[in-house]
Amino acid sequence: MEEPEDNCFCAGCGGKIQDSFHMKVLQDTWHTACFQCSVCSDHLTNWYYEQDGRLYCRKHYWEKFGELCHGCSLLMTGPAMVAGEHKYHPECFVCLSCKVVIEDRDTYALVERSKLYCGKCYKQVVLTPMLEKRSHDSILDSLPHTVTLISMPSAANGKRGFSVSVIRDVNGSPSVQVKEVRGMLISPEVRNAIHVGDRILEINGIPVGTLLEEEVDDLIHRTSHTLQLLIEYDPVRQRLDRLRLGSPRNQLGVPATSRMRLSSPPNSVLEKTNVVDDGTLKRRSLRRSNSICKSPGPYPPKESPLITKDIGRSESLRSSSSCSHRIFRPCDLIHGEVLGKGFFGQAIKVTHKATGEVMVMK
């Protein structure tokens, strides 16, 4: 409770606050009776959520703004495993075949956006049967939609075994796609996992949409370092591209013409074809959930960690009014001081590397 101020009005009902029985939360002042969930009208104390100027109790905030696990379809409120655009509870990130939980740095493949396999089972259950029955070209026409991670070790000969190009899709959105695969320079495991026309989602754990073209080029051409790529094979999109362009399989998309970030609008200025080469299917870098985040500290652009952008943490309890609830990966955050400790663990001040947002993480 605080002393009333002159011309102080309640953010809930808009009425003037004339007595000392009121709540002050950041920039707003509320009648004690008005400080309630905007959905169920339950009275709120010191535990509340706010979004776009409206208050919520815990239950209704998560129902309205929470993210659903792609595995069990229940709400996620803490750590998350990330596979492409899909998020899972850590305990739901399980191989469909062997039922083993896929942990840190384990290989995985998400097939048809729903069937999750560890690397070993993906090779045995999906790839090997197709390789035994079909030629390489026919395999490309029969493979299902797949998101997988490949890891290419350093190359002594300075070659990666494939080349990529930055192109724009039908909607004008830029993306990084595999332009050429040089099979003789790539190990069989990776050769069967990377195809012409595949879309690269992440390079060394960094979403390509956040990178400049020069950074894409630099990361791929650093052949003295291990290169990890999160790749999407989308047969429907590739067929549409070929029909639209009337082109053979090895000529997909239209070169981009911009030097801005890959997520920039279509009329910005960008162009690059990156030649690269070598590799092996490696273990997926997905972090197991722990009560205390083991996020790495800040890295210079040239020394970014290989693939640590995978564990998700929810942002602080008070959500920004300018954006909906998000789940963060630890490597997106720079750790600051410990703000407090208790039965819940400890609260740590963190700063988002890209946006500069300051938040509290438990």
362 is in an annotated binding site: yes
The overall longest dimension of the chain from CA atoms, in Å, is 81
Cα 349 to the center of its chain, rounded Å: 22
Q: Is 18 left (phi over 0), alpha (psi -120 to 50) or beta?
A: alpha
282 close to 182: Cβ distance less than 8 angstroms = no
151 close to 279: Cβ distance less than 8 angstroms = yes
Distance CA 206, CA 248 (A): 30
337 close to 360: Cβ distance less than 8 angstroms = no
Structure tokens at 107: 């290989």
Q: 56-70 in b/e burial notation, b at 16+ Cβ within 10 A?
A: bbeebbbeebbbebb
Structure tokens at 322: 């300018």
SS3 225: coil
CA angle 283, 127, 109 (to 5 degrees): 40
Distance CA 275, CA 14 (A): 62
DSSP letter, residue 184: G
SS3 15: coil
Bind-site residues for ATP = 362
Binding residue positions: 362
